[in-house]
Amino acid sequence: MKIVVLGSGVIGVTSAWYLARAGHDVTVIDRQPAAAMETSFANAGEISPGYSAPWAAPGVPMKAIKWMFMEHAPLIVNPKPDMAKIRWMLQMLGNCTSAAYAVNKGRMVRLAEYSRDCLTDLRADTGISFDERQQGTLQLFRTQKQVDAAGKDIDVLRQGGVPFEVLDVAGCLAVEPGLADAAGKIAGGLRLPKDETGDCFKFTQGLAARAAALGVTFRHGVSITRLNRTGDRITSVTTSEGEVTADAFVLALGSYSPKLAADLGLNLPVYPVKGYSITVPVVDAARAPVSTVMDETHKIAITRLGDRIRVGGMAEIAGFDLSLSDKRKRTLQHSVEDLFGGAGDQSQASFWTGLRPMTPDGTPIVGRSPIANLFLNTGHGTLGWTMSAGSGRLLADIVSGRATEIESRDLGFDRYRKPAKSAQPSLRPAPAR
């Protein structure tokens, strides 16, 4: 088929790659001048299937209230009224139960574990390099309360067959020697030895180049206005360079996906949650992280990317605001200096912000839409890099009508639909294996 992919972030590019490998004629359209110029540009750098978990969890509402009074708060909510924000937050609150958390985490881990396997194969097939390391993720706890609360996550990991290690302070220092000076601030850790790290921007640009060599057409600097529908099919996409027709369309525009979908009568519960990062050059390798350390208190990831340290995190619910806040920068600097003091040159820190496309249950929307030839690959939140290869492969299999290698029905749009009230025609997803 002739297929148009809307969006050239890591999700759009992996979708294009696997669709082209399946034999389709693929065109990617994006308003940016190159691939991975927005949310995929400077994320935290962690590929953490075992750490995949929804933000909606038991106890989060009370934690959110406490965070409001913290100097280095992991969550900031802009008080400006916004109906989309209010609806999304209410839906998220509805998922803050033990039962919902277990279901949501289970399917997120399933997709993320599959994605890691797909990335391993892709790396072997292409020889792509992106400052990758396969040395695990350490979730670092500063209090005994955090250690005790990890039990629920451990249960899910055990049920999913995900390898893990519960570490005491000495164990944390053994895998991350750079933490030695911060030993008195550590209560323990949960290590996921199969997790990886890597530069999402380098990966996406490298894969885009390989996709182009495979025959994928990239149309950068082209704005997307609307999808045009006749009956139960999309006939074309209107762009700044005219109409583009295709047999099928893939919506992979991250936080900007809901606008195009809304014009078609589809309500995608995806909201932009702003995150920040700094990138600093390593000046003392002995003090620097080996892989990724998740600071559970500040919800910040500190990752080694070659000769750089990437520090990313926080959640600011403020719509499409992309302004940079010095206060958020200070929080990132505080976290890395508190744990890995002197490892990086903060005077050379580059500061960045991006919008994470979050669903209220944490799980992305991958699969068919109620419109026959429109497919969705969006809503990955903080885990777009972790889930990218698997989401692209899964999407390509669904578009191609092939049986998927993992269960996919609960990852699609149908989980948000109310069939009795829906005015849109429905197609059953391709059978999963």
Residue 423: predicted pLDDT = 37
Eight-state DSSP code of residue 130: S
**Annotated binding residue 422:** no
- The string of pLDDT tens digits covering residues 159-200 is 878 899 999 999 999 999 999 999 999 999 999 999 999 999
302 labelled as ligand-binding?
A: no
Confirm whether residue 88 is marked as ligand binding.
no
At 310, which helix (H) or strand (E)?
Answer: strand 308-317
Within a domain: 406? yes
Q: Which pTM value belongs to this model? A: 0.93
Say if residue 103 carries a ligand binding annotation.
no
What does DSSP say about strands 46-47 and 196-197: parallel, antiparallel, or unpaired? antiparallel
| Backbone conformation region of residue 378, classed left if phi is above 0, alpha if psi is from -120 to 50, else beta | beta
Helix axes 384-400, 10-21, angle to 10 degrees: 30
Tell me if 14 is assigned to a ligand binding site.
Answer: yes
179 within domain boundaries: no
Query: Which stretches of the chain score pLDDT less than 70?
Result: 418-433
The 3-class SS string of 43-92 reads CCCEECCCCCCCCCCCCHHHHHHHHCCCCCCCEEECCCCCHHHHHHHHHH
Question: How far, CA to CA in Å, does 132 sit from each of 42, 44, 127?
Answer: 15, 13, 12
Task: Tell me how far apart the alpha carbons of residues 303 and 344 are, in angstroms, rounded to a whole number.
Answer: 12
Q: Is 234 annotated as a binding residue?
A: no
Strand partners, 210: none
The answer to whether residue 366 sits within a structural domain is yes
The radius of gyration of the chain's CA atoms, rounded to the nearest angstrom, is 21
> b/e per residue, 79-93, with b = 16+ CB within 10 A?
eeeeeebeebbebbe
Query: Tell me, what's the pLDDT at 65?
Result: 80
Residue 164 is assigned to a structural domain of this protein:
no
Structural domain range at position 128: 2-136+194-416
Residue 311 assigned to a binding site: no
Is 16 labeled as ligand-binding? yes
Q: Check which CATH number belongs to the domain holding 263 and give it.
A: 3.50.50.60
The annotation status of 6 as a binding-site residue, yes or no, is: yes
| 15 is an annotated ligand-binding site residue | yes
- What total of structural domains would you count in the chain? 1
Helix (H) or strand (E) holding 206: helix 200-214
17 is in an annotated binding site: yes
Has residue 166 been placed in a domain? no
Q: Looking at the domain assignment, is residue 219 inside a domain?
A: yes
Region at 215 (left for phi over 0; alpha for psi -120 to 50; beta for the rest): left
pLDDT number for residue 2: 98
Q: Is 12 annotated as a binding residue?
A: yes
Query: In this predicted structure, what is the pLDDT of residue 216?
Result: 98
Residue 108 in any domain: the answer is: yes
Question: By percentage, how much of the chain surpasses pLDDT 90?
Answer: 84
Rounded CA separation 248/269 (Å): 22
Tens-place pLDDT, residues 92-125: 999 999 999 989 999 999 999 999 999 999 999 9
412 annotated among ligand-binding-site residues: no
In a domain, 148, yes or no: no
Residue 428 DSSP symbol: P
The pair of structure tokens assigned to 399 is 């578009």
Res 432: pLDDT: 41
